[in-house]
Structure 1
Amino acid sequence: MPRPLRVAIVGSGPAGIYAADALLKSEVAAEPGVSIDIFERMPAPFGLIRYGVAPDHPRIKGIITALHQVLDKPQIRLFGNVDYGTDIGLDDLRAFYDGVIFATGATADRALSLPGIDLDGSYGAADFVSWYDGHPDVPRTWPLEAEKVAVLGVGNVALDVARILAKTADELLPTEIPANVHEGLKANRAKEIHVFGRRGPAQAKFSPMELRELDHSPNIEVIVDPEDIDYDEGSITTRRGNKQADMVAKTLENWAIRDAGDRPHKLFLHFFESPVEVLGEDGKVVGLRTERTELDGTGNVKGTGTFNTWDVGAVYRAVGYLSDKLPKLPWDIDSGTVPDEGGRVVQETGEHLQSTYVTGWIRRGPIGLIGHTKGDANETVKNLLEDYAGGRLHTPTTPEPEAVDGFLAERDIRFTTWDGWYKLDAAEKALGEPEGRERVKIVEREDMLRASGA
């Protein structure tokens, strides 16, 4: 009887779990069957759902329920706290599996080339998100002394950063934020948050729901300058062809024409302001300089030669995530992705790297919402299965599942399992119960390993 198809997936975020789901739903899953091992460098699964989504977004975090159902399947094993490139390499994976799918996502901040961007008080949004989401590998404190803060970017991450900075610590206490984050936010002095976009309302990348949620806080007054409501032919075309863009523009229009309220924290959404320099004194951020832009007819903008200076004490850049380069895989330095064709990894020679695949942000860059990742995974898995049917996958030398456990034990690598996640999940919920909270996230890696029974 033929053995099951053995597949390793590196990364347990939505991209990796959707790939596992696609494999389980394939004809191969019925005969000869599939056996999937997911490797995750964190002790807990779910990737950016756990460490990249703001804690006050329970609806988005609800996707974990669907991912849970996939990981509950007996054909899947989870190996957490195992870092690709350090604990296990590509050659090791090839020894155990017919195919390897990399779904490692993007967690670092994309660089922004501006004078002064490296000043003290200039931060990457991804680093701040990791802090307030309780990532075990970042510092436990965050400097929050600035009373006026700039956020560069008009995507959902920029909204998350601005909203967390503008809310009070007690507003966020009912969420899963760890104790150190709550203490840090209690010391937050920010009273004005300024979000800057170099183009107009029709080009903003906010999702309508996330934008509207800004206005739900009793402590945040959202302010839009009526002069920033402007459209050209390209903008009108965008609104007509994109329902979400039109909804965002309408929300911004409504905010621009209303009377200002008296909520204590002000959150300004600025458009047609292109950052040109972060200003500093004695090595610290003291302001931001922008150039006023105007639409050019196509939806793009051009500079006007008029400059504005903004009195801010901190600057957060939310201009996109960047993937980490993966050892032994080709790399496109410009896009920050692994070159591929339909999910098949492509070498510099133009040939496919046998039995090696990518899906999610490591494949296409950090664009699109979580739901877009499912189609990406389906395409990658389809091509892996085509290669399997065509006999183009290599043959592993030790495909037995227990060989992986032996490999990790021999190297004294402490790893967590899916059963271990249930233990960690229960421990976090127990921490939240006395305070009437759904959970309190455990932060320290050692504490996570201990709670998971690693």
Structure 2
Amino acid sequence: MLRVAVVGSGPSGCYTAQSLVQLDPDVLVDVLDRLPCPYGLVRYGVAPDHEKIKSLQNSLRAVLEHERVRFLGGVRVGPDGVPTARLRELYHAVVYCVGAAGDRRLGIPGEELRGSWSATEFVAWYSAHPDAPAGGFLAGARTAVVIGVGNVAVDVTRMLARGATELSPTDMPQAALTSLAASAVTHVHMVGRRGPSQARFTTKELRELSTLPDTQVTVKHEELELDPAYVDPSSLPAARRRNVEVLRGWATAPGPAARHRIRLRFFLRPVELLADGDRVRGVRLERTAPDGRGGLTGTGRFEEIEAQLVLRSVGYLGVPLDGLPFDPAHGTIPHLAGRVLRDGVPSPGEYVAGWIKRGPTGVIGTNRPCAKETATSLLEDASALSARSVPADPVGALRAEGRTPIEWPGWQAIERAEAALGASLGRGVVKLPDWRSLLTAAHGNAP
């Protein structure tokens, strides 16, 4: 049997494991994750009120319950964990599906002020990621600025305008639910440096903003008209043309006044976060304009938006993994059809899939063909890979070295604990938000 370790249990890791066992009956796959919980960004990145997308966990579960697939949670790879070189000794092949754990920065003055956060941190908090900041996002905030016009920006904007009634049925951790329910934020500005035709949100997500109770969505007609493709959208792809039509409707027929106001702004780029002591008090923005060559130019005209909370949502970024080559310009591991390249040459037994392979692009389904390409490359190399001797029981070897993998029954114990917690609060399933409670539950004790 060919023994393969897949590092990462999100969609790319699960789809890689699925492709391997579907394409070859002589493959055994261990799916490793540093967290005790599987599913990656489906558990910790999809907004809690998007139940349909979150239900993808059911299909990922089927992969991890396959008779030739084993989930090993709580296994850190790299510094302070299992070295990548040691993984190569334990398995015939290793596929790294570690995503893009970093976030891009604005690189402007004031970015380190209190009240300035990445959207990644905010999402991790309301999604109960055990590494998330403890809270404090909303303290003293009345107005928020979300920098970015992609789906993550739409998600965090929507969460800021949601009420307890809509969020209580979700699996949001109790502390985040309580904080959002008590929030004084009533105005949210979502700001993009480009025009409406370049925005990266999907039409379905965009439209959701206007369905929020007691919420008015507005957009400035004069900003939209700065975009030539808005004036004449006939050449746009269908998805972006639909976005333009939604925005056109909001510009010409804004909804009635409401407690929450969401304002979409375009052709503005942040140049400075303004300070009140060590806290954010606003954002200084420069008006941009199309340069006629597909880019932007600054106009030298500025405006300020008062805000006590700034969330930047300008993209994810891959981070280096100790022992593996890395392309810092693209935030990816160099590869050829999924085979890791060292000095331009494929490294035997090392592979990549998902965002660390191609960058943070595409939707969840994009990971399927990406994973299949990598799995196909690996299986083409199988005869050479299987010639090397590896331990019959990698988990036993890990335990002998002091590692304590959390296997599938441990994850099921966490699920039971989260269901019990929700019942005790009069809610459905409620996520456990910290390492201590997760590990306590995994080992069969009440958190």
The bucket for the TM-score relative to the shorter chain is: over 0.9
Q: Distance in 2 between the 1:282 and 1:203 partners? A: 36
Q: Which runs of 5+ in 1 are unaligned?
A: none
Mapping for residues 162-241 of structure 1, pairs under 5 Å: 162-230=157-225, 240-241=235-236
Q: Write the deviation string for residues 3-30 of structure 1: whole angstroms up to 9, x where unpaired.
A: x11110000000000001111221x22x
- Paired residue for 1:372? 366
Q: Write the deviation string for residues 94-128 of structure 1: whole angstroms up to 9, x where unpaired.
A: 12211110001122221221121112211111111
Mapping for residues 4-403 of structure 1, pairs under 5 Å: 4-26=1-23, 28-29=24-25, 33-85=26-78, 86-144=80-138, 145-230=140-225, 240-347=235-342, 349-389=343-383, 391=384, 393=385, 395-400=387-392, 402=393
Query: Would you say the 8 A contact 2:351–2:374 is kept in 1?
Result: yes
Q: Distance in 2 between the 1:226 and 1:412 partners? A: 62
Letter in structure 2 aligned against 1:175: T
C-alpha deviation, 1:399, in angstroms: 3.5
Query: Would you say the 8 A contact 1:292–1:304 is kept in 2?
Result: yes
C-alpha deviation, 1:179, in angstroms: 1.3
C-alpha deviation, 1:372, in angstroms: 0.7
Q: Distance in 1 between the 2:176 and 2:397 partners? A: 37
Moved over 3 A (4+): 231-241, 296-300, 394-397, 433-438
- Paired residue for 2:410? 420
Q: Distance in 1 between the 2:6 and 2:173 partners? A: 29
Percent sequence identity is 40
Q: Distance in 2 between the 1:274 and 1:450 partners? A: 46
Letter in structure 2 aligned against 1:74: E
Q: Distance in 1 between the 2:18 and 2:430 partners? A: 29
Q: Which shows bigger deviation, 431-440 or 205-214?
A: 431-440
Q: Which shows bigger deviation, 195-204 or 291-300?
A: 291-300
Letter in structure 1 aligned against 2:16: A
TM-score, normalised relative to structure 1:
0.93
Alignment CA distance shift 1:100-1:127 (3 Å)? same
Letter in structure 1 aligned against 2:41: L
Q: Distance in 1 between the 2:7 and 2:198 partners? A: 34
Q: Distance in 1 between the 2:115 and 2:44 partners? A: 23
C-alpha deviation, 1:73, in angstroms: 0.5
Q: Distance in 1 between the 2:227 and 2:125 partners? A: 40
C-alpha deviation, 1:394, in angstroms: 6.5
Q: Distance in 1 between the 2:191 and 2:280 partners? A: 16
Query: Would you say the 8 A contact 1:233–1:299 is kept in 2?
Result: no
Alignment CA distance shift 1:340-1:182 (3 Å)? same
Q: Distance in 2 between the 1:235 and 1:102 partners? A: 41
TM-score, normalised relative to structure 2:
0.94
Which residue of 417, 438, 451 corresponds with 2:428? 438
C-alpha deviation, 1:157, in angstroms: 0.8
Q: Distance in 2 between the 1:70 and 1:253 partners? A: 43
Alignment CA distance shift 1:337-1:218 (3 Å)? same
Query: Would you say the 8 A contact 2:2–2:386 is kept in 1?
Result: no
Letter in structure 1 aligned against 2:432: I
Q: Count matched residues.
A: 442
Query: Would you say the 8 A contact 1:95–1:396 is kept in 2?
Result: no
- Paired residue for 1:406? 396
**Equivalent position SS for 1:286:** strand
Query: Would you say the 8 A contact 1:168–1:185 is kept in 2?
Result: yes
Q: Write the deviation string for residues 316-358 of structure 1: whole angstroms up to 9, x where unpaired.
A: 11011122210100011111111111111111x2111111001
Q: Write the deviation string for residues 120-162 of structure 1: whole angstroms up to 9, x where unpaired.
A: 2111111111111111122322231211111111111111111
Q: Distance in 1 between the 2:107 and 2:234 partners? A: 30
Alignment CA distance shift 1:232-1:183 (3 Å)? closer
**Equivalent position SS for 1:25:** helix
Q: Distance in 2 between the 1:106 and 1:263 partners? A: 38
Query: Would you say the 8 A contact 2:209–2:217 is kept in 1?
Result: yes
